[in-house]
């Protein structure tokens, strides 16, 4: 059984946890260590099973807790080599432990316990930002947040995944008609900004298969509402695909049989 938790998501903080009970990985640590600890406890995940933190990018809502996690748990944080090279000031400001930073280049695969991660480049105004395909015990998870556009290689990866986590940041009309200054609107909509509901839901419609799950994450407080994302889902995504809109700051969890359990159940049903 693989257990996954969206501990929190949005500009207030982002943190995802994946565990098979033996090994645990965390993607983004934009929360305080005490919040992470409470989340782990309430979901029955032992902190000493955490092997590594993987960062999508170094904006504080994704990385502000990393330094403390590194020190408290003595575990490495992974980021792209570009992210490390170009974010020196941020790394020091957020008091990350340099000796506990591991880097990857895009296209590389990284094995940590039961998990294998395939990082890919995303488009965001934080150098070296990444999305991940995560494999564990025959199952795959796709995670892409904070990106102005969807990279081509994300499509086959998401098609391969059983569970997708994808940013649905803003509704076009709300952003356009909203109070943000023009420059900020351009930044959000730009190639290195964030994904709109339409782009996100369209991507999910093109990549999710029957039986898959899609979690829409990182909704903007000012330029989106969960209902707008849901309306877009109803218009575009067929039934048979489980869709969940993750409201800002709330926690969501799911479980999925690993491949061995799935085959066992199929064999049992056939007997
Ligand atoms: Zn963010
Ligand atoms: Zn960001």
- Segment 231-244 shows an average pLDDT of 96
Question: How far away, in angstroms, is 267 Cα from ligand 2 center?
Answer: 45
Of all ligands present, the nearest one to the C-alpha of 30 is 1
What's the pLDDT score for residue 106?
97
Least confident of 9-18, 227-236, 262-271: 262-271
Question: How far away, in angstroms, is 264 Cα from ligand 1 center?
Answer: 39
Question: How far away, in angstroms, is 141 Cα from ligand 1 center?
Answer: 19
- Segment 97-116 shows an average pLDDT of 97
CA distance 55 to 186: 25
Sign of the torsion angle spanned by Cα atoms 95, 222, 143, 115: positive
pLDDT at residue 270 tops 90? no
Nearest alpha-carbon partner for 221 in 1, 12, 6, 30: 12
CA distance 8 to 81: 26
Do residues 139 and 2 lie in contact, with contact meaning Cβ atoms separated by under 8 Å?
yes
Question: How far away, in angstroms, is 145 Cα from ligand 1 center?
Answer: 7
For a pLDDT cut of 90, what percent of the chain falls above it?
95
Note the pTM of the prediction, 2 decimals.
0.97
What's the pLDDT score for residue 249?
85
- Segment 204-228 shows an average pLDDT of 97
Domain with 20 in it: 2-270
Angle subtended at Cα 126 by Cα 121 and Cα 130, rounded to the nearest 5 degrees: 25
- Which tens digits make up the pLDDT trace of 28-75? 999 999 999 999 999 999 999 999 999 999 999 999 999 999 999 999
CA distance 102 to 52: 10
User: Which one is predicted more confidently, 268 or 32?
Assistant: 32
What's the pLDDT score for residue 23?
98
Number of domains in the chain: 1
CA distance 167 to 8: 13
Residue 213: how many other CB atoms lie within 10 Å: 18
What's the pLDDT score for residue 123?
98
Of all ligands present, the nearest one to the C-alpha of 61 is 1
What's the pLDDT score for residue 271?
61
Question: How far away, in angstroms, is 267 Cα from ligand 1 center?
Answer: 43
Do residues 17 and 8 lie in contact, with contact meaning Cβ atoms separated by under 8 Å?
no
> 269: pLDDT confidence band, cut at 50, 70 and 90?
confident
Question: How far away, in angstroms, is 269 Cα from ligand 1 center?
Answer: 43
What's the pLDDT score for residue 231?
97
Question: How far away, in angstroms, is 146 Cα from ligand 2 center?
Answer: 5
pLDDT at residue 25 tops 80? yes
Q: Token pair of 197, please?
A: 């509901």
* 75 CB-near residues (< 8 Å, 6+ apart): 50, 51, 52, 53, 69, 100
**Average pLDDT for the chain:** 96
Give the CATH number, domain containing residue 75.
Answer: 3.60.15.10
Question: How far away, in angstroms, is 247 Cα from ligand 1 center?
Answer: 14
Alpha-helix runs per DSSP H in 58-171? 60-63, 66-73, 81-86, 88-93, 154-160
Question: How far away, in angstroms, is 77 Cα from ligand 2 center?
Answer: 17
Question: How far away, in angstroms, is 26 Cα from ligand 2 center?
Answer: 17
| Structure letter (DSSP) for residue 192 | T
């Amino acid at each position: 059984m693989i257990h996954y938790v969206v501990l929190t998501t949005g500009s207030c903080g982002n943190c995802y946890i994946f565990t098979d009970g033996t090994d645990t990985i965390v993607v983004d640590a934009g929360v305080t260590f005490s919040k992470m600890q409470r989340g782990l406890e309430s979901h029955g995940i032992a902190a000493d099973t955490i092997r590594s933190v993987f960062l999508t990018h170094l904006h504080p809502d994704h990385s502000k807790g990393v330094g403390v996690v590194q020190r408290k748990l003595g575990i490495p944080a992974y980021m792209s080599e570009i992210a490390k090279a170009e974010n020196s000031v941020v790394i020091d400001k957020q008091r990350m432990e340099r000796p506990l930073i591991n880097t990857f280049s895009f296209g590389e695969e990284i094995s940590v316990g039961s998990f294998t991660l395939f990082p890919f480049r995303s488009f965001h105004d934080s150098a070296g930002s990444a999305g991940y395909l995560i494999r564990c015990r025959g199952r795959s998870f796709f995670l892409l947040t904070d990106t102005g556009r969807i990279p081509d290689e994300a499509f086959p990866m998401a098609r391969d995944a059983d569970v997708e986590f994808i940013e649905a940041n803003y509704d076009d009309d709300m952003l356009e008609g909203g109070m943000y200054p023009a420059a900020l609107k351009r930044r959000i909509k730009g190639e290195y900004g964030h994904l709109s509901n339409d782009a996100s839901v369209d991507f999910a419609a093109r990549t999710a298969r029957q039986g898959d799950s899609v979690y829409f994450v990182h909704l903007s407080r000012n330029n989106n509402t969960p209902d707008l994302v849901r309306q877009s889902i109803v218009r575009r995504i067929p039934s048979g695909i489980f869709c969940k809109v993750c409201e800002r700051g709330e926690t969501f969890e799911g479980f999925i049989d690993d491949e061995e359990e799935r085959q066992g159940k199929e064999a049992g049903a056939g007997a």
